[in-house]
Structure formats: structure tokens, C-alpha cells
């Protein structure tokens, strides 16, 4: 068996202040920088918020050659890769060839997110609980399967589609249309040449993040995202409109079951198959009647989940990320703080279909209420002004002693910020709030 090692570590971490390159441009990357504050940080490419915590360099997050050259020229001690794109393109493998320590999985290990067909087959091989499924590489066979099933199903494009490649089809016609768009019209290009068609799972979702070193995993507090654009889960799916942690649906029993039935067999299986997993394994769970099943794997931190994971982690983020990158978490400890964190995504007009860009953001100079935070995503600086440059513009949240405290402060901070056409959900965390009230 050949086990590819991900990085040939240098002798050891340099003590003191490190020079760290963070790859990406979202609220996740801004939150990562806050988690690593005290160190010297470069961003590729970053946003208007990250520019205040370090130096933005205009290298795109998918420009692998440019990123390797940047990390080398700047003699970075650690590269932290935010989004999945560069991971599936093999950025971490390329950095390892230059002996640059990087947080994130190799290209082979990133297939857990990059190919849903690989992921589902992997789960089947290792008897990890997930929705029953079938794989198709030919549209007529997929359509025949859907017609014969005659019940609601989920149609998923195999490859990365920026969150748009999943259709929960309530009718056979919707499923047939999804197959037509993905496989015949090739709306997502090669990403739709293979399809996963699976059972619809009932239940409540949770985001379960585990930082891994190839053999061990350290679980962070379970979080919950809000995927639909409008309150009460109406409207189309988005990258995420808000998050909170801890997610009460992940009871201690479910936590233990996920570690035993999902995380441990995944780490063992990936190592056995020659692609040991380092970086963060973000398990998208569906939980129903006390049983958790895997909806998806991501191989990076969730966004907006990261904005609530950062304030809830009780430990040293650099040791955690570096321990994972070097393949040894045995000396790293970290727990979860008491209290709760909650964050609200402020989006531009027209998001997610066609976000308006170029509006001036007002109110960022107001003093933040205690416990509140603001992370930038789709922003750019124009002189002294901050201008919208993407669909999800800011993630504004708070850490507090309880959900109600975190929620009140988060929405107070949101109320101070404005731009033309801004919208956000008013119901972030409402499930957890209801539970907290009934306790």
C-alpha cells in the first residue's frame, strides 16, 4: 500500500510570530484571520475587511502557480486554504513539493467534496450511514430510474457547482428536468457528466466540523446553517444566510455516534486507500429520530459556520491548524466555550440569482456592541469607502452567554449597517431560541 504523505514538514514551527498566507476572500477567511490574530497575515485575494488585519495580494484563489510562488517568495510559515476550489486543484500537494506547510487536504483527499460519486461510493465501501443512491453516466438510464421510482428524489451533479448542483425533486418531472439540465444541456459542464440520484432524507441538518491530522480528529462545536434565502426557509438555496452554535440537535449521544460511525471510519478508510485526510472534514448531517446520516462532505470550513466556530473554540487556533497541517494533533487540545454564537449574513439586492454590485456600505464606523463581530465577504475598498462586490457582503454576529443574548447583540449590530437593497433573514437561530426558552 502506498500512502502519500501530504507534506514534508520543516524541522518544526518557528516560535513566536508566524507569517501566514490565507487563501480566499470570504467571511470564513476574515474569521480565520481573527482566529490567528497576533501573527503576520497575507490574503490572496482577501476583501476590504481583511485588508485591515493584514496585506491583501491580488492573486486569485484558484491561481495555483501564483499562490505557490507567493508563498515561496514571501517565505510563509503556513498556508491556510479557505475554499474548496484550490484544494481540489491540488494546491496543498504543490506546496508540499516545495516543503511549505499547508492546512487542507491533498487533491486525492479533497475528492470527498470534489466528487459526490467518489464520496457516495466511499461511504458505501466503508458502511457509513447515508441516503441510498444510484450513480449514472448516461441520461436515458437516469431518466428510466427516476420514472420507475415514481417518488421524490434528490438529483446531484458529481462535481463542484458552487452549491447549485443539488435539486431536491418533489415530482418525477422536476427530477427529469434536473437530469436534462445537468447531463444533456450540461449547465455545469463536466461536473454534471456523472449524477448521483438519492433518497430524500427527512430531519434537521447540522454542520459538524472535525480538524484532522490523517489519523486523529478533533471535533469542534456543532453548528447550524440557514440555506434558504428568506425567513422560515422559503426561497432558493444559497451558500448560507446565517449560522449559530451550538446546534442543540447534536446531542452528546449523536456527537459520539458521528465520531464512531462517520469520522473514525472515514479517517481509517482514507488512510487505507492511500489518501490520509488532513485539514477540516465538514460533515453535513441530516438528523432524524436520533439517527445521523451523511448528506455531504466538505473539505474546508463552512461559510458562514466559521464565523460562529471561531468565538466558540476554547484553544489556540494556530496550534490546531498547524498540528493538522503537520500531521500531528496529539499535543493539541481545545474545547468549546459555554454560551452561544450567532451570525447573520447581509446580502445584496437580487442575491442569490443576480446580486447587485457597487453599492456603498454605510455604518461600518459605528462602535460595535460588546461581543459583536463583523466579517467581510463581497466587499472592496474605494478610497475610504467600502463598496459591495458580491452577493454575500457581510456576516455580522455576536458571541454571548446565551442564544438570546447573542441574537440580540447580533441584530443590534446588523441594524447599524445599511446599503441600497440590502437584505438578511430575521429568523437566524429561532429554533435554538425556542428550545432555550422552553428549558
Q: Which of 165, 167, 128, 173 is nearest to 149 (CA)?
A: 173
Taking the C-alpha atoms of residue 142 and residue 231, their distance in angstroms, rounded to an integer, is: 34
Instruction: Based on the shown chain and the rule CB under 6 A, indicate whether residue 132 belongs to the binding site for ligand AMP.
Output: no
Query: Pick from ligand GLY, ligand AMP, none: which does 359 bind, CB < 5 to 8 A by kind?
Result: none
Q: Interacting stretch for ligand AMP, rule CB under 6 A, among 79-87, 196-204, 334-342, 407-415?
A: 196-204
Per-residue three-class SS string for 141-190: HHHHHHHHHCCCEEEEECCCCCCCCEEEECCHHHHHHHHHHHHHCCCCHH
Residue list 232-251, contact with ligand GLY (CB under 6 A): 239-240
Closest approach, Cβ 154 to ligand AMP, in A, equals 4
Instruction: Based on the shown chain and the rule CB under 6 A, indicate whether residue 82 belongs to the binding site for ligand GLY.
Output: no
Residue list 248-287, contact with ligand AMP (CB under 6 A): 284
Instruction: Based on the shown chain and the rule CB under 6 A, indicate whether residue 135 belongs to the binding site for ligand AMP.
Output: no
Query: Pick from ligand AMP, ligand GLY, none: which does 168 bind, CB < 5 to 8 A by kind?
Result: ligand AMP
Query: Pick from ligand GLY, ligand AMP, none: which does 263 bind, CB < 5 to 8 A by kind?
Result: none
User: For the packed helices 27-35 and 305-312, what is the interaxial angle rounded to 10 degrees?
Assistant: 10
The residues near 145 (Cβ < 8 Å, ≥ 6 apart) are 134, 136, 197
The residues near 354 (Cβ < 8 Å, ≥ 6 apart) are none
Q: Which is nearer to ligand GLY, 225 or 322 (CB)?
A: 225
Instruction: Based on the shown chain and the rule CB under 6 A, indicate whether residue 227 belongs to the binding site for ligand AMP.
Output: yes
The residues near 1 (Cβ < 8 Å, ≥ 6 apart) are 272, 274
Q: Which is nearer to ligand AMP, 24 or 165 (CB)?
A: 165
Q: Which is nearer to ligand GLY, 27 or 267 (CB)?
A: 27
HSE of 438 in the Cβ direction (CA atoms, 13 Å)? 7
Over the window 300 to 319, marking each residue x when it contacts ligand GLY by CB under 6 A and - when it does not, the resulting string is --xx-x--------------
The residues near 396 (Cβ < 8 Å, ≥ 6 apart) are 343, 344, 346, 372, 373, 374, 375, 410, 413, 414, 417
DSSP state of 231: G
> Strands (DSSP E) along 57-143, which ranges?
78-81, 102-103, 133-136
Q: How many residues bind ligand AMP (CB under 6 A)?
A: 14
Query: Pick from ligand AMP, ligand GLY, none: which does 302 bind, CB < 5 to 8 A by kind?
Result: ligand GLY
Q: Which is nearer to ligand AMP, 68 or 201 (CB)?
A: 201
Closest approach, Cβ 85 to ligand GLY, in A, equals 13
Q: Interacting stretch for ligand AMP, rule CB under 6 A, among 26-34, 193-201, 380-388, 427-435?
A: 193-201
Q: Which of 389, 386, 431, 438 is nearest to 49 (CA)?
A: 386
DSSP state of 336: E
Residue list 359-418, contact with ligand AMP (CB under 6 A): none
Query: Pick from ligand GLY, ligand AMP, none: which does 46 bind, CB < 5 to 8 A by kind?
Result: none
Alpha-helix runs per DSSP H in 171-274? 172-179, 252-258, 264-272
Closest approach, Cβ 159 to ligand GLY, in A, equals 15
Closest approach, Cβ 243 to ligand GLY, in A, equals 7
Q: How many residues bind ligand GLY (CB under 6 A)?
A: 7
Residue 375, all three cell numbers: 466579517
Closest approach, Cβ 198 to ligand AMP, in A, equals 5
DSSP state of 202: P
Taking the C-alpha atoms of residue 422 and residue 439, their distance in angstroms, rounded to an integer, is: 35
Residue list 275-304, contact with ligand GLY (CB under 6 A): 298, 302-303
- Which of 198, 213, 261, 322 binds ligand AMP (CB under 6 A)? It is 198
Buried b / exposed e across 101-120, counting CB within 10 Å, b at 16+? Answer: bbbbbbbbbbbbbbbbbbbb
What does the binding site for ligand GLY look like in residue numbers (CB under 6 A)? 225, 239-240, 298, 302-303, 305
Amino acid at each position: 500500500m502506498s500512502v502519500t504523505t501530504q507534506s514534508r514538514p520543516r524541522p518544526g514551527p518557528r516560535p513566536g510570530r508566524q507569517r501566514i498566507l490565507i487563501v480566499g476572500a470570504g467571511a470564513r477567511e476574515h474569521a480565520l484571520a481573527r482566529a490567528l490574530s497576533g501573527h503576520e497575515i497575507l490574503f490572496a485575494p482577501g476583501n476590504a475587511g481583511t485588508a485591515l488585519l493584514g496585506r491583501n495580494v491580488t492573486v486569485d484563489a484558484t491561481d495555483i502557480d501564483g499562490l505557490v510562488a507567493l508563498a515561496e517568495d514571501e517565505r510563509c510559515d503556513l498556508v491556510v486554504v479557505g475554499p474548496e476550489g484550490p484544494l481540489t486543484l491540488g494546491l496543498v500537494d504543490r506546496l508540499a513539493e516545495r516543503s511549505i506547510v499547508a492546512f487542507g487536504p491533498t487533491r486525492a483527499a479533497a475528492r470527498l467534496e470534489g466528487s459526490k460519486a467518489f464520496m457516495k461510493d466511499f461511504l458505501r465501501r466503508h458502511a457509513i450511514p447515508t441516503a441510498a443512491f444510484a450513480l449514472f453516466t448516461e441520461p436515458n438510464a437516469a431518466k428510466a430510474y427516476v420514472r420507475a421510482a415514481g417518488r421524490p428524489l434528490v438529483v446531484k451533479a458529481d462535481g463542484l457547482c458552487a452549491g447549485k448542483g443539488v435539486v431536491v425533486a418533489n415530482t418525477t418531472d422536476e427530477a427529469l428536468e434536473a437530469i436534462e439540465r445537468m447531463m444533456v444541456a450540461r449547465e455545469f459542464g463536466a461536473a454534471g457528466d456523472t449524477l448521483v440520484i438519492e433518497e430524500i432524507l427527512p430531519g434537521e441538518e447540522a454542520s459538524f466540523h472535525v480538524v484532522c491530522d490523517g489519523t486523529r480528529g478533533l471535533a469542534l462545536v456543532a453548528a447550524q446553517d440557514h440555506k434558504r434565502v428568506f425567513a422560515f426557509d422559503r426561497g432558493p438555496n444559497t451558500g448560507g444566510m446565517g449560522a449559530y452554535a451550538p446546534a442543540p440537535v447534536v446531542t452528546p449521544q449523536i456527537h459520539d455516534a458521528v465520531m464512531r460511525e462517520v469520522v473514525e471510519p472515514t479517517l481509517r478508510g482514507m488512510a487505507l486507500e492511500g489518501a490520509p485526510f488532513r485539514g477540516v472534514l465538514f460533515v453535513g448531517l441530516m438528523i432524524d429520530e436520533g439517527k445521523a446520516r451523511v448528506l455531504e462532505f466538505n473539505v474546508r470550513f463552512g461559510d458562514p459556520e466559521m464565523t460562529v466556530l471561531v468565538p466558540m473554540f476554547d484553544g489556540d487556533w494556530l496550534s490546531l491548524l498547524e498540528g493538522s497541517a503537520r500531521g500531528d494533533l496529539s499535543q493539541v487540545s481545545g474545547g468549546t466555550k459555554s454560551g452561544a454564537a450567532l451570525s447573520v449574513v447581509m446580502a445584496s439586492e437580487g442575491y442569490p440569482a443576480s446580486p447587485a454590485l457597487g453599492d456603498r456600505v454605510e455604518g461600518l464606523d459605528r462602535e460595535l456592541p460588546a461581543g459583536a463581530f463583523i466579517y467581510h465577504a463581497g466587499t472592496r475598498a474605494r478610497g475610504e469607502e467600502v463598496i459591495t462586490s458580491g452577493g454575500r457582503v457581510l456576516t455580522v454576529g455576536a458571541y454571548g452567554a446565551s442564544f438570546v443574548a447573542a441574537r440580540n447583540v447580533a441584530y443590534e449590530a446588523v441594524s447599524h449597517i445599511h446599503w441600497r437593497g440590502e437584505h438578511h433573514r430575521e429568523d437566524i437561530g429561532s429554533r435554538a431560541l425556542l428550545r432555550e426558552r422552553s428549558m
